[in-house]
Amino acid sequence: MTDPALARGVLRDLVAALERAAESRPVVTRRYRIAGVPVAVHVGATGAAQRMLEAIAPLGCADAEPAQLTLHVWDGRGDGIALPESPVLRREDAPEAGLGGYAGASLRAFYQPNAGVLSLFDAATGQGHWWLRDVATTPYYERAAPFKHVLQWWIAERGGALLHSAAVGLGGEGILIAGPSGSGKSSTALACVDAGFAFASDDYVLIDSAHPPRAHLAYATAKVVRSSLERHAHHQRHFRNLARADEKPMLFVHEVAPDRVGSALTLRAVVLPFVAHRATTALVPIHPAEMLRALAPSSVLLFPLAGDAAFRRMADLCRELPCWRAELADDPDDVAAAMRGMLTAAQPLDVRAVR
């Protein structure tokens, strides 16, 4: 394990070095509204790091309100900023020896040695850094969901959480779709988008501190398993990574449905999809604890430093909202119809009884 005092010193020095470098680096400043809050992102003006921001493009705005989160995106190779040589950040050959995560009084850090990604956030200053060893070799899933750790720490400070879930909706109201890859989460979200739903996420969604909670777009990315590509053939020209067998096909939903991405959704239900190959989709009420078991482990373990506060927010959500298991049909139109029925029902319903 890393000595916390050593880690604190190394990370504080690194933050200071990045702040000094930021003063002289030619940057492009992009402004966004993330979960309705002004955010500024500084990215090198000449490097390739700008393309890492495509997933948050629909959240771009022109307002000049002071940013409540300022994030610096670094391309280590392009910007010429290497990490210091330190046992704190040396994990490639000895995963147990270096920094996985660090949580100090206000500073949070998380290092992914294989991906070559270091995330830093100082809650006291509202400043974050997302350092990539080399944009050209950064894994595609980081481009699909950039600086997710910084977003998690930041939203947790505001009483919310970044969940490993999908969210779609109609008329400003939405459903949260929980479950890890392979559960039918992304396919359900895309079926709903194709049926005219608003899109807030297929993989990571921001939940605020409101009651009932609202879901906010974090990334406009949708990734599908290769075996389901045929079902999404009408989006063929939008998918990236098709030539890479080791990567999931991915598209940006604002290219598919630009008018239905980015608005907040007041959540009305949580759904746990299950690929059941049914003729018609069935919705079955489930115990809140069963839903929490589906929702929390991947969300909490992907973001271990968010810990207790994010876990409590997830439990609140499962207590507050009706929880359903969706036993999915193969027909995406039927899946979307079931989700529409859930959102538009005037009364609480047992859809299993009516479908």
Half-sphere exposure (Cβ direction) of 351: Cα atoms closer than 13 Å: 28
288 is an interface residue for another protein by CB under 8 A: yes
Strand partners, 169: 174, 198
294 is an interface residue for another protein by CB under 8 A: yes
- Find the binder of another protein among 23, 64, 114, 354 (CB under 8 A): 114
- Find the binder of another protein among 287, 333, 344, 350 (CB under 8 A): 287
* Shortest CB 43 distance to another protein, Å: 21
CB nearer to another protein: pick between 17 and 94: 94
182 is an interface residue for another protein by CB under 8 A: yes
- Find the binder of another protein among 25, 42, 108, 149 (CB under 8 A): 149
- Find the binder of another protein among 48, 115, 123, 349 (CB under 8 A): 115
Q: What are the tokens at 45?
A: 């003006």
**Per-residue string for binding with another protein, 84-113, x by CB under 8 A?**
-------x---x----x---------x-xx
Structure-derived torsion over alpha carbons of residues 90, 96, 101, 102, reported in degrees to the nearest 10: -80
- Find the binder of another protein among 274, 276, 278, 349 (CB under 8 A): 274
* Shortest CB 147 distance to another protein, Å: 11
209 is an interface residue for another protein by CB under 8 A: no
CB under 8 A: which stretch of 36-44, 126-134, 283-291, 335-343 binds another protein? 283-291
Three-state SS at 203: coil
User: Measured at the alpha carbon of residue 117, what is the angle toward residues 112 and 118, in degrees to the nearest 5?
Assistant: 90
**Angstrom distance (rounded) from CA 335 to CA 259:** 22
Q: What are the tokens at 99?
A: 């920094």
Residue 142: CB atoms within 10 A of its CB come to 19
- Find the binder of another protein among 108, 129, 148, 254 (CB under 8 A): 148
Q: Which residues of 172-206 are buried (b: 16+ CB within 10 A; e: fewer)?
A: ebbbbbbbeeebbbbbbbbbbbbbebbbbbbbbbb
284 is an interface residue for another protein by CB under 8 A: no
**Angstrom distance (rounded) from CA 199 to CA 229:** 19
Is it true that the peptide bond before 212 is cis, omega within 30 degrees of 0? yes
248 is an interface residue for another protein by CB under 8 A: yes
Do residues 196 and 260 make contact, with C-beta atoms less than 8 angstroms apart?
A: yes
CB nearer to another protein: pick between 40 and 118: 118
311 is an interface residue for another protein by CB under 8 A: yes
CB nearer to another protein: pick between 171 and 297: 297
Three-state SS at 351: helix
Which residues of this chain interact with another protein, rule CB under 8 A?
A: 91, 95, 100, 110, 112-115, 117, 139, 141, 148-149, 179-183, 225, 248, 272, 274-275, 287-289, 292-294, 296-298, 300-302, 304, 307-308, 311-312, 315, 318-319
